[in-house]
Amino acid sequence: MIKMLLSGAAGRMGKAIAEAAANYPDIKITHKVDVAQGFENIEEITGGDVDVAVDLSSREGFKKAILWACENKTPLVVGTTGLTEEDHAAIDTAAKEIPVLQASNLSRGVNIMFEILRAAAEFTHDADIEIVEMHHNKKKDAPSGTALEMGKIISEIQSERGLSGRDGRSGMVGARKSNEIGYHAIRCGDVVGEHTAIFGFAGERIEISHKSGSRSVLAEGALSAARFIVGKTPGRYSMRDVVTAGKE
């Protein structure tokens, strides 16, 4: 039985994870943490009955969760987005003491899409690259963490181009530069998440897309990540490790 602490339990993703975990006999959420009324304060919890902590909260919630995980030597899954360079540095430091799995998107399909993007980027070094993402109207950060990860993957493979990000376009911006990745964020309704990478050439284009129809796919991914990280040695892990585990 894997005993889990859930940080951000009052949020959309927290509720989806709790609902999904109820269907698995090998996972039990022993603590639900949130700033909302009726939930626990992470600073008052001891780590004796926790095998893994999962954080899908806010930047402030993340800072408390990673401090708690380090103090209690507990593996941590980080799915919170909108983190700063300081936060990423904190993850690097924590990973020296505990296993930390950070994911911009916990969906299995999204992480398979990342692998497809890696392959596509090998053959598109002269393409115009645009990334379009759509989310619900309550999402606070833009572009999404997933969109930024898509750009990072392409930029690393096409490193000789020195690709840089550009957030949308407005006004007389001039001709498009060949070494930029355009990011376009759409916020409307209750869209869970849609992402498309466009590789444009003269006369044709390639589009690679993923669409999430339900938060349940993200919840299932979070639980898979929690299972994966328990028992691992200290270090940084990703959903790529989860997706490719057992490939050979």
Query: What is the rounded CA–CA span in Å between residue 33 and residue 45?
Result: 9
Q: Is the pLDDT of residue 248 over 60?
A: no
Pairing of strands 52-55, 164-167: unpaired
pLDDT tens profile 213-237: 888 999 999 999 999 999 999 999 9
Contact of 75 with 225, CB cutoff 8 Å: no
User: Mean pLDDT, the chain, as a whole number?
Assistant: 94
Residue 135: phi, psi to the nearest 5? -140, 175
In this model, does residue 175 exceed pLDDT 90?
Answer: yes
- pLDDT at position 139 is 92
Name residue 195's beta-bridge partners: 133, 210
Measured from the Cβ of residue 202, the count of other Cβ atoms closer than 10 Å reads 7
pLDDT, residue 188, reads 97
Instruction: Mark whether 211 is an active-site residue.
Output: no
Comparing 142 with 245, the larger pLDDT belongs to 142
- The pLDDT score that the predictor gives to residue 247 is 62
Answer whether residue 5 shows pLDDT above 70: yes
Other CB atoms closer than 10 Å to residue 152's CB: what's the count?
15
Q: Which of 31, 64, 135, 210 is catalytic?
A: 135
CB 174 within 8 A of CB 156: no
Over the stretch 158-169, which tens digit does the pLDDT of each residue have? 999 999 999 999
Residues 62, 87: contact at Cβ < 8 Å? yes
Tens of pLDDT, residues 102-116 = 998 899 999 999 999
Name the pTM for this structure.
Answer: 0.80
Per the model's pLDDT, the better-predicted residue between 35 and 179 turns out to be 179
Q: What integer pLDDT is reported at residue 74 of this predicted model?
A: 97
Q: What confidence score (pLDDT) does residue 246 get?
A: 60
The yes-or-no verdict on residue 81 having pLDDT over 90 is no
pLDDT in tens, 29-76: 999 999 888 899 999 998 789 999 999 999 999 999 999 999 999 999
Bridge partner residues of 198 (DSSP)? 130, 207
Residue 130, by phi and psi: left (phi above 0), alpha (psi -120 to 50) or beta? Answer: beta
The pLDDT score that the predictor gives to residue 2 is: 97
Q: Which of 28, 139, 152, 232 is catalytic?
A: 139
- Residue 28 is a catalytic residue: no
Name, in order, each residue with C-beta under 8 angstroms of 140's C-beta and a sequence gap of 6 or more: 82
pLDDT at 199: 98
Has residue 210 got a pLDDT over 80?
yes
Q: Is the dihedral of CA 232, 238, 242, 245 positive or negative?
A: negative
